[in-house]
Amino acid sequence: EAGVAQSPRYKIIEKRQSVAFWCNPISGHATLYWYQQILGQGPKLLIQFQNNGVVDDSQLPKDRFSAERLKGVDSTLKIQPAKLEDSAVYLCASSLTGQWDGRVTEAFFGQGTRLTVV
């Protein structure tokens, strides 16, 4: 079974530039998550999709971050304009379902994209 795919693996940009990250979840997984992990901290949820609808984006800085999940499969996370404090690893994860229906909803993560803003 193929895992969660993310690209690029690394990105270095100057502040005020824009950047986009791509994620392809495990086939059949309805729920997709984007997390931000700052060095030395645990991952923080930015946005959660159920199919192509947004379930939770309460911690997404909407003035500069945007995300979409076209056709309920692949997803793109964009930052525009980037700030120095956006330097972090951006992790994409997927699970079979995010709904509490009794099924086990184990989350699987991609390798992440390491963003450095200079």
Name the site residues for another protein (rule: CB under 8 A).
4, 6, 31, 33, 40-45, 48, 50, 55-56, 91, 93, 95, 97-100, 104-112, 114
52-56 contacts, C-beta under 8 A, 24 or more apart: 55/31, 55/98
d(CA 80, CA 2) in angstroms, rounded, equals 31
Measured from the CB of residue 25, what is the shortest distance to another protein in angstroms? Answer: 13
Compare residues 26 and 81 and give the one whose CB is closer to another protein.
Answer: 26
Residue 27: CB atoms within 10 Å: 9
Compare residues 12 and 80 and give the one whose CB is closer to another protein.
Answer: 12
Compare residues 44 and 62 and give the one whose CB is closer to another protein.
Answer: 44
Measured from the CB of residue 75, what is the shortest distance to another protein in angstroms? Answer: 15
d(CA 50, CA 71) in angstroms, rounded, equals 11
Compare residues 45 and 73 and give the one whose CB is closer to another protein.
Answer: 45
Measured from the CB of residue 118, what is the shortest distance to another protein in angstroms? Answer: 19
Measured from the CB of residue 59, what is the shortest distance to another protein in angstroms? Answer: 10
d(CA 93, CA 98) in angstroms, rounded, equals 12
Asked if 86 contacts 79 with a C-beta cutoff of 8 angstroms, the reply is yes
